[in-house]
Amino acid sequence: MMSENWDEIRTAFQVAKLGTVSGAAQVLGVHHATVIRHIDALEGQLGVKLFQRHARGYTPTEAGADLLSVAQTTDDQFSQLVSRIKGRGEDVSGELVVTSLPGMASVVAPVLAEFQRTYPDVIVRYLTGERVFRLEYGEAHVAIRAGKPPQEPDNVAQPFYSQSHALYAHKSYLERFGHPEPDQMLNELRFVGHDDHTNRAPFMRWLYERVDPDRITFRASEVEAMIQAVLSGIGAGFLPTHLAAGHDDMIELMGARPEWESANWLVTHVDLHRTPKVQAFLTMLKDHAKDWTCAA
């Protein structure tokens, strides 16, 4: 358990030693809400109360005192490790972990490739998926997230770009089923959509609000599968405009609209935001984004 929950244990150790959430937050360099969240998570997993809460602060219970004793040696070793890591962190080397939705790989991967050519000592890990990676637990250095602005108190969220979408169909689909008149598209096209009809992507909301569900004849649980279905001619569907521009066989049926745009955010943890490695990658990523046809 120690290796999996050290962030929470280290937080509880500081609270036990200092007696207050604010004191622990100051020492750890985190928001006080993070301290409370870590303690609640640790107590929930252990099934015991580690502290008695009172007006003057937090007093360790018997279990909390045991934790304080055991954690002392580990904290000393952890502090030595942090010093070594910080020493290495002054140059651009080691691992860089970046996350995004799978559909962004076509624009993010080339930037990562150039970053690694520029900084050959960096090991790149590019993790794509639908889930939100927790930066406060060190799961990633930089996250590119879509949708509403991230609200985690310990994270730095910067507006990145708005990805435009339009409705397309492969020419092979139109050869089989014909090209409907503009006012009949929603009634005659066979659509590719998300399997979850409550999906919050703006273009998916628009589609499900206007199209008979029977017209959505191919449904997938991941955006990448939807994209491949449209590119394969299974049905009409929404694609990022920069992606469709690279496929000559894709026919635009409805042009990009503001209400179909997906806002994207660059998210970093406050403790890593100013490190040379993260800043070097953010600078390169923003520079490339100026040339993306999908950039606002």
Select from 153, 137, 154, 30 the least CA-distant residue to 15: 30
- In Å, the largest CA–CA distance within the chain is 75
Mean pLDDT, the chain, rounded, equals: 86
| 145 or 190, higher pLDDT | 190
**pLDDT score recorded for residue 106:** 81
3-state secondary structure the chain: CCCCCHHHHHHHHHHHHHCCHHHHHHHHCCCHHHHHHHHHHHHHHHCCCCEEEECCEEEECHHHHHHHHHHHHHHHHHHHHHHHHHHHCCCCCEEEEEEECHHHHHHHHHHHHHHHHHCCCEEEEEEECCCCCCHHHCCCCEEEEECCCCCCCCEEEEEEEEECEEEEEEHHHHHHHCCCCHHHHHHHCCEEEECCCCCCCHHHHHHHHHCCHHHEEEEECCHHHHHHHHHCCCCEEEEEHHHHCCCCCEEEEECCCHHHCEEEEEEEECCCCCCHHHHHHHHHHHHHHCCCCCCC
Tokens for 226, please give them.
């939807």
In the chain, pLDDT over 70 holds for what percent of residues? 91
Average pLDDT score over residue span 132-150? 85
pLDDT digits (tens, 9 = 90+) for 168-215: 999 999 999 999 999 999 999 999 999 988 888 889 999 999 999 999
Q: Is the pLDDT of residue 83 over 90?
A: no
pTM score over 0.85: no
Bridge partners of 145, per DSSP, are 265
How far CA 68 is from CA of 12, 51, 57, in Å, comes to 8, 11, 16
| 79 or 186, higher pLDDT | 186
**pLDDT score recorded for residue 27:** 85
pLDDT digits (tens, 9 = 90+) for 207-242: 999 999 999 999 998 888 999 999 999 999 999 888
pLDDT digits (tens, 9 = 90+) for 92-109: 888 999 999 887 888 899
Which band of pLDDT confidence, cut at 50, 70 and 90, is reported for residue 75?
low
Tokens for 164, please give them.
């435009």
In the chain, pLDDT over 90 holds for what percent of residues? 43
